[in-house]
Amino acid sequence: MPSGFGELTDQAHHLVSSGDLAGAQRLLSDALTDADPRPANATPELAEAASLQARVLVALGEPHSARGWAAFAYAATTRLHGRSDPRTVAAAATLAAVLHRVGSHSRAARLYQEVIIELTAQDGPESLRVLAAHADLATVEYARGQCTVARDRLQDAWELHREVYGDGHPSGIKMLARLGAMQRDCGQFAEAHDNLALARELCRQHLAADDPLAVQVAALARAAASPDHVCTDEPPTPGTPRRCRPPASHPSTTGRSSPATTRHRHRRTRPDRRRPAGPCRTPGHRPTDPVGVPPGHPIRPRSPLPTPPRPRSPRRLSG
C-alpha cells in the first residue's frame, strides 16, 4: 500500500466535503487500483479508503460498483477493530445501504439489525443514529413487502424522534414523509394524506422555502402511488426486532387537523417526554439527503456516522 494513503484519503474527504464527488471517486479509484484485495491484509487506512469509495459510488448512483468496496471495508474493519467498534458499525451501515440498493434485502435487513443493536449499546435507544437505523430497516422491510412491520416500525421511530428532538428536526420530517409515501403505496390514502400534509406543514414552519428537503417533500406529496408496489407481508427476518419500541398507548395520528392539534395530543398522552418544538439542534442535517431514497448514507466529512448528542433520560425500548 502506498505510504501516503492516509493523506490521499484526507484529500478525498476534502473533495467530498466541497461537493466534488466525481473528483473524489477518481482519486480513490486510482489509489485503490493496486491495493491488496484481501481483507485479511488490509490496514486501517486502506479500510477507511475503501469505505469512503463505497459511499462516494453510492452517492453517484453506482451501487453495484460500490458493493465490492463496501463488503471489503466491512470485512476489514471487523477483523481490525471488532464488531462493536464505531468504524465497523459505520461500515456495516454502508454495506447494508449498498445491499438494499442492489436488491439484496434479506442481507441488508440482517446488517441493519446488527447496526441497531450496536448503536443502541453505544448511544442509547433514543439516539438519532438508532432511530435513523430503524427508519432505514423499515425501508428495507417495505421493499421486501413486509409492509405492516415496516409501517409500524417507521411510525414508532417518527413518534419517538418527534418526542425527543421536536417537530422541526429534518430527520423526523424525512421519516414522516417516507411513512406517508409507504401508506399511499399500500392504499392507506387517508393516513398518507394526513402524514404528507403534516410533513409539508412542518417544512413550512421550520425550513426555508427553497430548502432541498422542503422541495423533495412537496414533490413527494404530489406524487401518485407506485403501481409496482406489492404488499406481501412476509415474516420478518429471524431475530430482527419488529418495532423500535412496544406499541404505544396513544391516539391514532389519522384525522389530525393541524400540527398544533397533534402536538397537543402527544403532550396529553406523554407529558413528561415532549421537548419544545424548534429548529434543528443537530449539525448533522444534510438538506440534500433524498427523502424517498433509502438509506444511502450520504457522504459526510470524515465520519459516515457522526455521534449525536445523547438525549436526556433515555429509556429502554424493546428490540
From residue 81, give the alpha-carbon distance in Å to each of 76, 89, 164, 247.
8, 10, 32, 36
The predicted pLDDT at position 300 comes to 34
Q: Is the per-residue pLDDT at 247 higher than 70?
A: no
Backbone φ and ψ for 296, nearest 5 degrees, come out as: 75, -30
pLDDT of 14-66, one tens digit each? 999 999 999 999 999 999 998 898 999 999 999 999 999 999 999 999 999 99
Mean pLDDT over 262-289 rounds to 34
The answer to whether 118 and 89 are in contact (CB under 8 A) is yes
* Helices 147-165 + 170-185 axis angle, to 10: 160
pLDDT of 192-245, one tens digit each? 999 999 999 999 999 999 999 999 999 999 999 998 888 876 555 455 444 444
Q: Is the per-residue pLDDT at 258 higher than 80?
A: no
Average pLDDT, the chain: 79
pLDDT of 123-136, one tens digit each? 999 999 999 999 99
pTM for this predicted structure: 0.72
The predicted pLDDT at position 6 comes to 80
Q: Is the per-residue pLDDT at 249 higher than 50?
A: no
* Helices 189-206 + 212-222 axis angle, to 10: 160
The predicted pLDDT at position 73 comes to 96
Q: Which residues of 153-164 are buried (b: 16+ CB within 10 A; e: fewer)?
A: bbbbbbbbbbbb
One-character DSSP codes across 146-186 = -HHHHHHHHHHHHHHHHHHH-TT-HHHHHHHHHHHHHHHHT
From residue 99, give the alpha-carbon distance in Å to each of 71, 135, 248.
9, 16, 32
Calpha distance 255→147 (Å, rounded):
21
Domains defined for the chain, CATH in brackets: 1-123 (1.25.40.10), 127-319 (1.25.40)
The predicted pLDDT at position 252 comes to 35
The predicted pLDDT at position 228 comes to 87
Calpha distance 141→319 (Å, rounded):
16
The answer to whether 99 and 105 are in contact (CB under 8 A) is yes
The predicted pLDDT at position 5 comes to 74
Q: State which amino acid sits at residue 103.
A: G
The answer to whether 139 and 150 are in contact (CB under 8 A) is yes
